[in-house]
């Protein structure tokens, strides 16, 4: 499976404010590029922290891109994936609407009532891992369902864990023209952080956009 992480951060590296309020860091050009990346992916993934904070739809907006997917014999919308260890995704979350297929990766200790409730809300629930979702096993399960190209939109906890597990192939970061600040504001990679061995990145693209800059890296 090929995994692309894409996110937008402020010039000081924050994904949102300390109150985790949704905030547009990207401008129109970058949001359109993100729509194109979604359209090129088999699935779009976030952590449940992002579902609870932003209630994203994770769907492709541009009708031409939706038509092109159909033309390539794909479903009109990429699938959606939420890493959700304790099954906290609200049954009325937008990721569970009828626009696209949705996989919820939950921990194996999740109460069966919660799993059944999300199942009734239309999700395909995959249980793997104990306290937290086992990401390598979860991504293998997705691959066995035909997901070969996965785009990850965040947030910082999930992105760190994917790097920690060595699962990221590409990183695209839009650095927007603003300072958010706050020691408790989410950053691009949170979690426990690395101490000794840091993932190596190879810069493959730099582009001015929306008053900021898009940086693209391959992960060594």
Indicate which single residue of 4, 37, 43, 53 sits in contact with ligand NAD (rule: CB under 6 A).
53
User: Taking contact as CB under 6 A, which single stretch among the options 20-28, 77-85, 112-120, 136-144 is the one that binds ligand HJL?
Assistant: 20-28
Q: DSSP letters of 69-96? A: HHHTTS-SS-EEEEE-TT----TT-GGG
Q: The tokens of 91 are what?
A: 């049954």
User: Quick one: what does residue 24 bind among ligand HJL, ligand NAD, none, with the CB cut-off 5 to 8 Å set by partner type?
Assistant: ligand HJL
Question: CA 143 from chain center: how many Å?
Answer: 16
Minimum distance of ligand NAD from residue 67's CB (angstroms): 27
Query: 67 or 193: whose CB is closer to ligand NAD?
Result: 193
Asked if residue 36 lies in contact with residue 78, where contact means CB atoms within 8 angstroms, the answer is no
Minimum distance of ligand HJL from residue 31's CB (angstroms): 6
Site string (37-76) toward ligand HJL, x via CB under 6 A: ---------x---x---x-xxxx-----------------
Q: The tokens of 122 are what?
A: 């239309």
134-193 positions binding ligand NAD, by CB under 6 A: 135, 153-158, 161, 186, 190
Eight-class DSSP state of 197: -
User: Quick one: what does residue 157 bind among ligand NAD, ligand HJL, none, with the CB cut-off 5 to 8 Å set by partner type?
Assistant: ligand NAD
Buried/exposed code over 76-86 (b: 16+ C-beta within 10 A; e: otherwise) = bbbbbbbbbbe
Indicate which single residue of 84, 153, 157, 210 sits in contact with ligand HJL (rule: CB under 6 A).
153
Query: 25 or 121: whose CB is closer to ligand NAD?
Result: 25
Eight-class DSSP state of 7: E
The DSSP H or E segment spanning 47 is strand 43-47
Applying CB under 6 A, what is the total number of residues that bind ligand NAD? 29
What CA–CA distance (Å, rounded) separates 94 from 55? 6
The verdict on 79 binding ligand NAD (CB under 6 A) reads no
């Amino acid at each position: 499976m090929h995994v692309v992480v894409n996110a937008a951060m402020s010039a000081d590296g924050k994904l949102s404010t300390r109150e985790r309020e949704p905030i547009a860091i990207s401008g129109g050009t970058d949001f359109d590029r993100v729509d194109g990346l979604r359209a090129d992916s088999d699935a779009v993934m976030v952590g449940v922290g992002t579902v609870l904070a932003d209630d994203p739809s994770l769907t492709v907006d541009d009708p031409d891109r939706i038509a092109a997917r159909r033309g390539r014999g794909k479903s009109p919308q990429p699938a959606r994936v939420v890493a959700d260890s304790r099954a906290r995704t609200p049954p009325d979350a937008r990721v569970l609407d009828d626009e696209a297929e949705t996989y919820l990766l939950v921990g194996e200790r999740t109460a069966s009532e919660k799993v059944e409730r999300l199942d009734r809300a239309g999700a395909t629930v995959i249980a793997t891992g104990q306290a937290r979702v086992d990401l390598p096993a979860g991504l293998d399960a997705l691959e066995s369902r035909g997901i070969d190209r996965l785009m990850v939109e965040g947030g910082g906890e999930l992105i760190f864990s994917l790097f920690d597990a060595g699962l990221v192939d590409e990183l695209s970061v839009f650095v927007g023209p603003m300072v958010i600040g706050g020691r408790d504001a989410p950053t691009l990679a949170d979690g426990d952080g690395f101490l000794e061995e840091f993932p190596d990145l190879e810069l493959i693209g730099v582009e001015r956009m929306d008053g900021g800059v898009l940086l693209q890296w391959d992960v060594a």
